[in-house]
Amino acid sequence: MNNLITPFEPIRRTNPAGNQFWSSRDFAQVLRYADYRNFQSVDYYRS
């Protein structure tokens, strides 16, 4: 089995019901966006 840890594993969160989720602010940092506002605008263009 491959034990690679992606940059997304350390920022994964779990709610009280056990559901996993990721914060968009944390994603912006991992993806090296200089400003979170630049990352936010991406969400509006989902298909």
The predicted-structure confidence for 19-38, as pLDDT tens digits, reads as follows 999 988 898 888 888 887 76
Residue 27 CA neighbour count, 13 Å, CB half: 11
The predicted-structure confidence for 3-20, as pLDDT tens digits, reads as follows 778 899 999 999 999 999
Q: How far apart are CA 41 and CA 33, in angstroms?
A: 12
Nearest to 15, CA basis, from 27, 25, 23, 7: 23
- Give this prediction's pTM: 0.61
Kindly tell me if the per-residue pLDDT of 47 is higher than 60.
no
